[in-house]
Each structure stands twice: as structure tokens, then as C-alpha cells.
Structure 1
């Protein structure tokens, strides 16, 4: 069978490697601080009386709830199977295989490039500057791309994107390309959303998710926000039944007034815990804090990161090695967990240095 696979597989897929998600890298573990998930597990009720029927393509309860939450019109919104499906749909809809390209700004979220490569779309890269700000001049020098992806706050650096920089990029590409602002972590930097700017930029697209602050990573529910004509084009490509009925029920419930209040309270708790963990990690003279803390994780550099990572994994503490990312050599990313999880992480790091005598 392998010879048949070799014979039939698309040529552009042969050199590709699957995205190394947190679960693919480590299936087990006692404490998962490697996937930017919330430590909160909130309860929801599900009605199974309609499971024998196909679900709505765009469930009213979800669309109405998220449109109200994001402050946009219903026609400016599409719900997808996670923001990852939104990324893929944008590429499939607005790029021609073998001809067009997207632009990304590494170090950044890996699925932009992987989604493009699987569709035989070119990937142009304009790295972030040394301070992880956008290289606006470099981005705007690429006039032959169809979609520009900008993660804000950026994963994995936790940094903001300057509003003036984004404004310049959006205006430069007004009649040339879509500019996609990935706001997966926007609840941790809420004042910097672009969802209220659709009227100013016809080429602006925003990605959102329930996976992070909403504590619903297992639901796989995301949103694409854009002007009506962009949404209408994407609807030509989306699957007929993208959102399972249980997902729609839970998403609609999560968007209730009561649960939005709970969301904000949990974000406040995580931000306070993030500040505590950042201070504690900064106290290790062996560590250099990297980037910023505008999301639900912190990033630090340590010359012995491989040994520390192995020590933590062996003890069921999973964080994320970002060393393969551009300009993030020896960097580890830690998702903000519960106080108990963060305390255990800090204790293990202390134990590591005590037992190994490791240092720079």
C-alpha cells in the first residue's frame, strides 16, 4: 500500500511534516501547561433530543451571541471548527493553488504556513524585528501576496502589535490583499481588538476562538469576523455542517450574559496568576524573560532548556519548547495554570537546580 500512497500523494505534501500540536508531542502528563489552555473546566448542560438531525451550518444562538459579544453585525461573522478552519478557509477561498502566496511574520503561530503548504500556496516570511514588532517596511514590500497573517497578541512571544503599524499595513494592502488579525488571545489584551474597525478597512479579517479565555479548547469552536462580502465568499467553501449540535449548544450557553461575566472573572484570575508566575520566574538568575505577557503564557530563555524540559516531562509537567522558532533559541513557553500547577512548576524548577547544579 505504501507504494500506492507514494504514487498518488500530492507532490506538495511529500516534504511536509504534520503540525506538532501539544497532544501529538506528549499524550500523557500530570500538568498540561504546554497548549495555552485554560485551567478552568466549566460545566454545561446538553440536550440530546436533536442529535438525530443535521445541525445548522451557522447556528443562530451562536451567531447572535458572538456577534453581540464582539460588537459586530451577524452578517460580519462566521462560526468555524476552531480558528484553524478559518485560517484554512481564507487560504482556500482567496488563494489559487500553485500561483498565489500568503505572508507571515515569524516567530508566530505555525498553522498559517502549514495550511498554506497543504493547499500548495506559497509562504513568504517577513520576520519580526528584534523587539518582536512588525517589520512594516518589509511586509509592505511584498505586493504579490493575497493574505497577510498577523497574530495579535502574538503566539508565542505574547507581544502586542502596534496599532499604527497595523494601520499602515491595512492601508497599504487595501486593494491588494486581505490582512488577517488573529485575536485568539484578545481577552487578555481586550483594549487592542480590531473588531470595531471593520468599517474603516474593507480588507480587515479577524480570527477569534473559544479555546483560550472561554476555557473551551475541547469544543473546537472559532469565529471569522470580516465585512459582509468576505464572509459571503467564505460561505461558498465552508462544509455544510461544520458545527456539531452539542458544540453549538455549549457555545451559545458560554455566550450568555452570566457566563460572559464568569469569563471576565477568570481572565482577571489568570492575569493575576500570570503576574505572580512572571515575577517568580524572573527571580531565577539563569532565566531571561522574553517578549511580553499580553496573552495567557510567559516565555523565557535558558541555555539548558533541553535538560530542564526533559526533567519536567519525566515528572509529568508539560511546557512547550519553542527553540525551533525563529530567534527563539533556548526558549520555553509556559501556559498560565492554576496556582497549584504553577506552584508545582516552580518547585520542580527549584528541585532541578538543586539536584543537578545546573546553571548557565
Structure 2
């Protein structure tokens, strides 16, 4: 990697047209507070639970979340899943047909999809055989066009945390944005990189309500970054990107953190048990370490095992065609009953 560079103002990294554009201002952006009569947003005046537009910036949710994450609410972006934040980051900071993102393969597929949709080049660099960052490979991969590095930790589909020291080294030396996707961080022992936001103004951290919080159906993703970066995302997002019901249910969840913590403890317990059971199977060649709510396991014939489980009404992910994941299945940790049924089925394969 090159020597450490002085990070410019974040505005120097933003696309010029995004920096100078005038954002859309919704009715609820222009008015703050409470009123008795609302005649500003062309809504149906007859009361139902959802006849009014939602708060476009979700301040009630952000205030509750900020207290839990120990961060300023202005450093939080909430989106329609983490995918919205991924897409907006690429749109805001990468010039189409000119700039690039860097990904470490194997990793979450939506980084590449969002880049390709936005006509942004993808620069892949392989992880090491044990699925960690290969610092020596980075200088040969990114160049002056690279605007964002995406690092998934714990990584999907491998399940492991990337080395914290190596991530910090990337943060110290890379000129553009470093996005750390922590969708599975609640299942890991390592602390979140949210604590490092003040130290690295080019750092962005993604988390989600889909995994530990058990709210995948709501599609609510979290993005934590400097106020400058969050203001850019708010500038280009659609006005009412998170609906009222999602905001209400997210608030309910945030007011009952103990439920999420109990789920996480049980899932980690079941993960350990499931890994031991998988290791005993005759078809298993390797069970990889996991810091997430799923397990990557190499078997003798992954496509055949996948098809067999499918015929037994058990669905896992066949990752055998993914880079470095030859003959691997990705298995989500289920309930004790679901895990037992999976093992019994594989024992008969």
C-alpha cells in the first residue's frame, strides 16, 4: 500500500453535480413541530393510521438508536435496507463510467450489483485462503479511480471477522471512503467500528435491523458516518424512504433491547452446537470459523447435498460457485428443532 495520505474534506470526494445540486424539499422537511391542521402535503384529510406522510428523517427512531449506539443522531442514516445506503454511497461518491469501488472476494454481492447499476467499475481483490484481508494485494488493485472500499466484517458468505488491525491499516492509508458492513456484528465478540468514526472521517459503518433484531421483513438498514457524509445521503435519498409502520415497529424493538440480546445469546449457543454436529458428519470436509448467525461448511459434493436437502424441504445456500468457496454450503443457524432436523437429514445422505 502507499504511504499514509492526508484526508481531504469529504466534499472533495463527492461528485461535483451532487455537491451543487438543490435537493427536493418535501412538505414535512419545510415544517418542523406540531400543528392542529395540516394542509401542506396534499394528503387525504380523513383519519386513518397512515393518512399522513412519515417523518422523512426518522428523528424519533434515530434518537433512540443514538442512545444505544452512543452516537449523535445526525450521524445516522436510515434506509430501505442497508442496500439503499450502499447504492446512495456509490451514487454520491463515484462518477459513472469513470470511478471504481474495491471489494474483497468472496463478499456480499450487492456491492457489485449497485456499482454496475450505476455504471461504476468494480475492482476485486481476493481474500487470503483463511478469508482475511490481503494487504499486499491492495496496492496492485486500487488506483486513482478507486473512491470506495467495501469491507464486510463479519464477512458474508464466509462468516468470519476480518482482522481489525488490517482494517485499521486500510483506513489509515486509503484516500477515499472505507465502508465496513457490520450486518452480523451482534453475533461477534469484536466491538463495532462505530467507536472509530471520530478518528477516521472517511469511515462509514453499515448495520441492519434484519439479523439480530429479527426485522428482516421491515427492510430497515442503518448507516453511521460523519455528519458531512450523512448530509450527502439525506440530500439524494427519496423523500419518504422509510414508511410510518417501519418506524413504529423499529421504535418498539429499540425499547426492548433485552429481547434482541436474548435472541443473540441463544443463536450463538445454537451456532456452537450446530458446528460440532456438522464436524461429525461423514460428508463434511471443513467447518469454517463463524462470528455470524450462519456457518460456511465445505462438503464432498455441495450441489448434490443442496439438492438432497431441498427434496427434504430444507433450504440452505449452495455457495460452491463463489470464489474460494468450492463445494461450500452456507447454513443459517435455526431453532434447535430446525438444526436437529437438518443434521438428521444430512446423516442420512
- Output the TM-score relative to the length of structure 2: 0.84
Would the aligned equivalents of 1:322 and 1:330 in 2 still touch at CA under 8 Å? yes
Q: Report what 2:330 is aligned to.
A: 333
Show CA shifts across 1:111-158 (max 9, x none). Answer: 000010011000000110111110112224413200000000001111
Q: Which moved more, 1:54-63 or 1:101-110?
A: 54-63
Alignment of 1:237-276 (within 5 A): 237-256=236-255, 259-276=256-273
CA distance in 1, matches of 2:287, 2:239: 43
CA distance in 1, matches of 2:319, 2:266: 26
1:188 is the counterpart of 2:163: no
Would the aligned equivalents of 1:140 and 1:169 in 2 still touch at CA under 8 Å? no
How many Å apart are 1:89 and its aligned residue? 0.6
Q: Report what 1:53 is aligned to.
A: 52
Secondary structure, aligned partner of 1:332: strand
Runs of 4+ in 1 over 6 A off after TM superposition: none
Secondary structure, aligned partner of 1:300: strand
How many Å apart are 1:192 and its aligned residue? 2.8
How many Å apart are 1:104 and its aligned residue? 0.1
How many Å apart are 1:291 and its aligned residue? 3.1
With over 3 angstroms needed to count, the CA separation of the structure-2 counterparts of 1:140 and 1:77, relative to structure 1, is: farther
For CA contacts below 8 A with separation 6 or more, give which structure has more relative contact order. 1
Would the aligned equivalents of 1:157 and 1:290 in 2 still touch at CA under 8 Å? no
Q: Report what 1:168 is aligned to.
A: 169
Q: Report what 1:150 is aligned to.
A: 151
1:68 is the counterpart of 2:49: no
Q: Report what 2:134 is aligned to.
A: 135
Secondary structure, aligned partner of 1:72: coil
CA distance in 1, matches of 2:228, 2:161: 28
Would the aligned equivalents of 2:189 and 2:291 in 1 still touch at CA under 8 Å? no
Would the aligned equivalents of 2:59 and 2:73 in 1 still touch at CA under 8 Å? no
Q: Report what 1:349 is aligned to.
A: 346
CA distance in 1, matches of 2:201, 2:333: 36
With over 3 angstroms needed to count, the CA separation of the structure-2 counterparts of 1:263 and 1:247, relative to structure 1, is: same
Would the aligned equivalents of 2:171 and 2:178 in 1 still touch at CA under 8 Å? yes
Q: Report what 2:212 is aligned to.
A: 213
CA distance in 2, matches of 1:281, 1:288: 10
Structure label with greater radius of gyration? 2
1:77 is the counterpart of 2:88: no
Q: Report what 1:224 is aligned to.
A: 223
With over 3 angstroms needed to count, the CA separation of the structure-2 counterparts of 1:290 and 1:99, relative to structure 1, is: farther
Would the aligned equivalents of 1:64 and 1:74 in 2 still touch at CA under 8 Å? yes
Q: How many residues align?
A: 301
Would the aligned equivalents of 2:212 and 2:264 in 1 still touch at CA under 8 Å? yes
With over 3 angstroms needed to count, the CA separation of the structure-2 counterparts of 1:120 and 1:185, relative to structure 1, is: same
CA distance in 1, matches of 2:287, 2:238: 40
Q: Report what 1:296 is aligned to.
A: 293
